[in-house]
């Protein structure tokens, strides 16, 4: 095998590893959040770079199901979650 082929393989492996690590690092934390609004409870799971981002995304997803319109959506997002469970 030529020196150029070996260098090409090493370079391809390095780039592949770098891409894998970058994608893996995007969603480090996964959280399940349960929110009760207007007498209904919904639980959703979301991932994020931090616990705070994962919880916020899951909370917004819950409120998208529970609330109707912008005003209710804002009110729902102000409600403390019933449960937060993160990996």
The Cα 33–Cα 73 span in angstroms is: 16
Does any domain span residue 5? no
What does pTM read for this prediction? 0.69
Does any domain span residue 18? no
Does any domain span residue 42? yes
Does any domain span residue 24? no
pLDDT tier at 55 (50, 70, 90 boundaries)?
very high
CA dihedral 38, 75, 78, 55 (to 10 degrees): 80
Does any domain span residue 20? no
Phi/psi region, residue 42 (left: phi>0; alpha: psi -120 to 50; beta: rest), is: beta
Two structure tokens written together for 77 = 């997002």
The Cα 78–Cα 47 span in angstroms is: 20
Segment 6-38, tens digit of pLDDT: 777 877 777 777 777 666 655 589 999 999 999
The parent domain of residue 49 ranges over: 29-86
């Amino acid at each position: 095998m030529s020196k150029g082929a070996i260098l090409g393989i090493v370079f391809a492996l390095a780039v592949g590893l770098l891409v894998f690590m970058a994608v893996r690092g995007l969603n480090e934390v996964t959280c399940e959040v349960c929110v009760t609004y207007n007498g209904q409870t919904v639980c959703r799971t979301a991932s994020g770079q931090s616990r705070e981002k994962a919880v916020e995304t899951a909370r917004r997803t819950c409120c998208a199901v529970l609330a109707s319109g912008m005003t209710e959506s804002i009110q729902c997002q102000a409600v403390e979650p019933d449960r937060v469970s993160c990996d």
